[in-house]
Structure 1
């Protein structure tokens, strides 16, 4: 088999986390008497980290750096307590992970979600599957920067062209292309298939187990 490792995005790829994210952000917005947003709107807001989410969720007329930082800290505090309330793996994900584990492929997570929340969700929902599990620690390393993806390859002792990156947004596909990983999109996530194809996804998965066919190409 050509491929030796698979790196996964988290939100919208492995787990449906939109309700926990939206609920937490709406609690914060209500506390400031700002308008809230629907789950569908949050699907557009997510993908670039919590600070970016905060900027998008705040009313444009009120945005300034001080407010963003204050609301960001509040959001972190609220979300910390409920990031696993409603978040669940998508159907078929556990089956896929079991197959990959049995095939002895190396599997990892790389997310733009804050590192502490990425690790908490992974350890709660996917114990003993992924290593390493990495979220956002430094803004300069935020996807689509290839820096952390390449660090993961080095840690796993695999070449980039032996590695797939699986995600649900254009940011994920760009990350894969920037790191010379095989870019694979999923149809069940927070963005539509057209966005993934237009960005350069080489494969689109309609079910998690479709990844097995990709690995055999």
Structure 2
């Protein structure tokens, strides 16, 4: 049976913290809003920024959307490239591609930015499917984005014995919770922006400390299937 692996982007494939946080600060400063503490800003990494602005800066939806538009002015030109791949990500992508996985990206980042970032790091060719946020279509939250990615991959969730065939790899609770709800095998990575506690509380089935750990987890799952 064809297997599928779906990756989050920020905090999973790339360390994008610098560009995102600088662009948030830029937008808040432009409108004269107080910039939250560094620890609070880290909570913006993962969920939709409009949601985080409302939650952590006590903004109305209208205010948050205005700030997000200004955020995009900097992020869309400079911030998206203040970014780097985590170690051994290319090797991981090469492995799953060579083993005939369907490889997808599911990110709450706008899809246009996600595609540009994959091109920037020369890893677009590893992906069969790329799904990101699309505010015009109302596609903003991780569960909906992941659901669309699963549908576009076109592979079954399980084999004839009920064994699951789709993996979701991400660094925040939103990735893990969405994966669990949709019947995927959830792999939480501890090197990103979510804490180990957060991932455990979200009931991640596996925790991986680096890309090599993800490879070992996939190999372990394959051995279990063959028994």
Q: TM-score range by the shorter chain?
A: 0.7 to 0.9
> Which residue is equivalent to 2:191?
188
Distance in 2 of aligned mates of 1:38 and 1:18: 14
Partner residue of 1:132 out of 129, 133, 138 = 129
Do the aligned partners of 1:6 and 1:107 also contact (CA within 8 Å) in 2? yes
1:150 corresponds to which residue? 147
3-state secondary structure, aligned to 1:112: strand
Query: 1:133, 1:20 → 2: CA distance?
Result: 21
SS of alignment partner, residue 80 of structure 2? coil
Q: Shift of residue 51 of structure 1?
A: 1.3
Structure 2 stretches of 5 or more lacking a match? 158-163, 222-227
Partner SS, residue 95 of structure 1: helix
1:170 Cα deviation after fit: 0.7
Which residue does 2:161 correspond to in 1? none
Deviation track 1:137-156 (CA, whole Å, cap 9, x = no partner) reads: 148544342x4433323332
Deviation string, structure 1 residues 124-178 (Cα, Å, up to 9, x no partner): 1223111211111148544342x44333233323122211000001110011011
Deviation at 1:201, TM superposition (A): 0.5
Distance 1:101-1:152 versus aligned 2 partners, 3 A rule: same
| Deviation (angstroms), 1:13 | 0.7
Using a 3 Å threshold, how does the CA distance of structure 1 residues 209 and 54 change in structure 2: closer, same or farther? Answer: same
Match for residue 21 of structure 1?
Answer: 20
The verdict on how the C-alpha distance between 1:162 and 1:203 changes in structure 2, with shifts beyond 3 A counting, is same
CA distance in 1: counterparts of 2:61 and 2:174, whole angstroms: 24
Structure 1 residue 30 corresponds to structure 2 residue 29: yes
SS of 1:200 mapped into structure 2: coil
Tell me how far 1:74 sits from its aligned partner. Answer: 1.2
Q: How does 1:195-214 map to 2 (within 5 A)?
A: 195-214=198-217
Contact map agreement 1:144 1:178 (CA 8 A) in 2: no
C-alpha separation in 1, matches of 2:215 and 2:60: 47
Shift of 1:23: 0.6
Q: Structure 1's 41 and 77: CA in aligned 2 closer, same or farther, altered over 3 A?
A: same
User: Which stretch of the first structure deviates more once superposed, 192-201 or 28-37?
Assistant: 28-37
TM-score for both structures, normalised by structure 1? 0.88
Note the C-alpha offset of 1:99.
1.5
Measured against aligned partners, the alpha-carbon deviations of 1:4-49 in whole angstroms (never above 9, x if no partner) come to 1110011111111111001111111222222334554322122221
1:90 to partner: Cα distance: 0.8
Aligned-pair distance for 1:197?
A: 1.1
Aligned with residue 180 of structure 2, among 155, 163, 177: 177
Match in the other structure for 2:92:
96
